[in-house]
Amino acid sequence: MELPLIKKYADLIKRFSFLDGLSDAQKEKYLADLLHAEYMDLTVDYAFKYVFGKHPELLKMLLGDFLRLDIESIHYHPEELVSTYVQDRHVIMDVTCTLADGRQVVIEMQKKMPDDLKNRLFYYGSALIYNQLKRGEDKYDLLPVYVLIFLDGNLIHDNPADKRLIYRYSMREQESGETYGDQLHIICCELPNLSKSSDEKMNSIEEWFYYFQNMKNFTTLAGGPKILNERFRGLLDASRTRRFTDKEWENYLKAMFTQREIDNYTAPAYRKGIEEGIAQGIEQGIVQGAAKEKENIARAMLAKGFDADTIADLTGLDAEEIKALTA
């Protein structure tokens, strides 16, 4: 990577505090490593949206494999599809679309695991169902809605030993298992649960999991990425960073830096350190710096869609203080 390009984004990294303990040379190396990466990290929402928002053939392939449907065509919708409801909670969906037969789908990639994630997924689907109803109509002819989410983590399940790749939820009668209807389907895909290596035989679902897990590491693999199936050549090509414009590089780096910062902020060791640091600051009469740090944490979390209750729990800021940061 040419030095001018590294210098071009050097100021960008200064806006994020997670590398404050590194020297300028170390920061530059961290930035250079990202700029040298041949493929995007698809577990970061910007990269996921970039690939599947620009390539309907890949989205069609993805949905066909995970929804078990014969996908004829896909019509994209802007994020505003359910904005009346979702934006009130600082939620930005990655991809929303309607299939040829009218069924609607929300697809997301999530690295964070907020406590209310299950409720949030139900909220997405409910909003899409509500949007099908037209004012004044007395018929409720509802088409199925699918919420498909890929998690770089694990939900809390009744049986922790049950480590499946996909959890499919729908409404059923408790004793007989009879379905209430097919209006709402929530499909949760837990990426860490794939334990196979590239040398083992995989089905199409496992192949998707493998690429989502490992795309960011392909640059450092000896001999480059292994093509598990010719179907995925298009995914690899669409995920190459050489496609980026300068502005797209900037957006991708911001997403990577923000995610890294949030990972640090929400780590138990960091939270303990913040609490100890604030306590020490109070004792020494220098709480101003600690307060500023809490505001920086809250801003980064707002940018990634954390809800106000979670931000308040992690930072100690009250609702009014958090609201003021969005003004």
Tell me how many degrees the CA angle 276-25-298 measures, rounded to the nearest 5: 35
**Over the chain, what HEC string results?**
CCHHHHHHCHHHHCCCHHHCCCCHHHHHHHHHHHHHCCECCCCCHHHHHHHHHHCHHHHHHHHHHHHCCCCCCEEEECHHHHHHHHHHHCCCCCEEEEECCCCEEEEEEECCCCCCHHHHHHHHHHHHHHCCCCCCCCCCCCCCEEEEEEECCCCCCCCCCCCCCEEEECCECCCCCCECCCCEEEEEEEHHHCCCCCCCCCCHHHHHHHHHHHHHHHHHCCCCCCCCCHHHHHHHHHCEHHHCCHHHHHHHHHHHHHHHHHHHHHCHHHHHHHHHHHHHHHHHCCHHHHHHHHHHHHHHHHHCCCCHHHHHHHHCCCHHHHHHHCC
pTM of the model: 0.75
Amino acid at 182: D
Nearest to 229 by CA among 252, 247, 202, 250: 202
Report the chain's C-alpha Rg in angstroms: 22
The reported pLDDT for the residue numbered 298 is 79
The reported pLDDT for the residue numbered 89 is 43
77: left (phi over 0), alpha (psi -120 to 50) or beta: beta
Judge whether 184 and 125 are in contact, CB under 8 Å: yes
Residue 57 pLDDT > 50:
yes
Spatial neighbors of 15 by CB under 8 A, at least 6 apart, are 257
Among the ranges 54-68, 209-223, 260-274, which has the highest mean pLDDT value?
A: 54-68
The reported pLDDT for the residue numbered 304 is 66
Rounded to the nearest integer, the mean pLDDT of the chain is 80
Give tens-digit pLDDT for 210-261: 999 998 888 666 666 778 889 999 999 999 998 899 889 989 998 888 877 6
Residue 197 pLDDT > 70:
yes
Spatial neighbors of 90 by CB under 8 A, at least 6 apart, are 302, 305, 306, 307
> From CA 164, how far away is CA 80, in angstroms rounded?
33
Among the ranges 145-149, 179-183, 212-216, which has the highest mean pLDDT value?
A: 145-149
> From CA 214, how far away is CA 225, in angstroms rounded?
9
Residue 269 pLDDT > 50:
no
Residues 283-303 have a mean pLDDT of 65
Give tens-digit pLDDT for 115-125: 788 888 998 89
Residue 68 pLDDT > 80:
yes
Judge whether 309 and 326 are in contact, CB under 8 Å: no
The reported pLDDT for the residue numbered 150 is 96
Count of other CB atoms within 10 angstroms of residue 250: 14
Residue 55 pLDDT > 50:
yes
